[in-house]
Amino acid sequence: MERKKVYIGMDDHRLSVQVCVLDEDGRVLVNRSCHNNLPEIAAAVPEGAVVAAALIESCCGAFDLTDALRTELGWPVTEAHPGIVKRMRHNPDKSDYTDAQMLAELSRVGFVPPVWLAPPWVRELRLLVRLRADLAKHKRAVKTRILAVLRGQRIAEPDEFNRWTKRWLAWIISPGVCSDAGLFVIRSHLAKLDWLCTQIKEVEYKLGDQTAGDPVVERLLCEPGVGPVTAWTMRAIIGEFDRFASGKQLARFCAVTPRNASSGQRMADAGLVRAGDPLLKTVVIEAAQRLRRYEPRWSSFSDQLAERGKPTSVIVAAIANRWVRWLYHQIKELPEQEHPMAA
């Protein structure tokens, strides 16, 4: 006897999952909230039914749930892009009940905007990369607060040494430079700055250990203008370069592709596409800045665009776009892209 096929949509939350089950004709068999654990989710499927397809919206925690559903229950689970799913919602009202039903319907008809399921080692790298970026952001904020104290008390900095050198730091806490309250605040900020620097070094050591022997990171480090932080960030957020169909697709993922804003007879660009991870876009643009200054090939390209009257921002974006598309083919040709931790 042929088992009944069902299609499942799941709206994931920290403690619960809304599970909607449809049959092949689109009839709702089940739509209820379960605790966020596999036995309860599996129990929502009618007895004797086989899961033909399942869909879950990509969000925090969804990767781990998807992994568990695939490996332990054997369900063919796909993750959907949340931004595209949101645009598909025609009803202005939103609830877990309707969201799960819409995901189940998308799963049934096969109209799914899929998301690449990052393997565990990629998720681990992303945790470390984002931690380092967060610590670096706090470090910049602390430095800004120290300079704000000097600016607020109209203290002129000496010209004989640069900021944040040992001599500059010794001068800033020397007697008579700031008021008593200002000196107390600066010492407090400097203590926090020392702690942040120590934490950043520890994270970088961990990242170096995690990516030791990684062929993609080693190849990226061979590129002019690419340092460890850029290589770690690109490897973590991009993951596997060969999951993209073309260099153009990768450049769009990195958000360094021009955004078309044409309508009718009007042909125009509107900056870069608003997509992708801001951290990835930042390191790619910073790498393009360095390539423009120090790499002859890209310096020549930059000069050509400058002669045509292009502004610096457009030149840097163009270099970033072409460099990523070129880099895609270099990395794709590597014999083994899988990270050592994946073995």
pTM: 0.81
Q: Are residues 234 and 338 in the same domain?
A: yes
Asked if 18 and 62 touch (Cβ cutoff 8 Å), the reply is no
Asked if 10 and 88 touch (Cβ cutoff 8 Å), the reply is no
Q: Are residues 231 and 333 in the same domain?
A: yes
Per-residue pLDDT, 1: 44
Range of the domain at 25: 5-115
Q: What digits encode the pLDDT tens for the residues 233-278?
A: 999 999 989 889 899 999 999 999 887 666 666 655 667 778 778 9
**Given 210, 234, 269, which residue is the final one in a domain?**
210
Q: Are residues 85 and 182 in the same domain?
A: no
Residues 6+ apart with CB under 8 A from 33: 16, 17, 18, 19, 96
Q: Are residues 104 and 129 in the same domain?
A: no
Give the count of domains, the chain: 3
**Given 94, 115, 136, which residue is the final one in a domain?**
115
Q: What digits encode the pLDDT tens for the residues 274-324?
A: 877 899 999 999 999 999 998 999 999 999 999 999 899 999 999 999 999
Task: Please state, in angstroms and as integers, the Cα–Cα distance from residue 327 to each residue in 38, 251, 336, 339, following that order.
Answer: 41, 10, 16, 18
d(CA 318, CA 305): 9
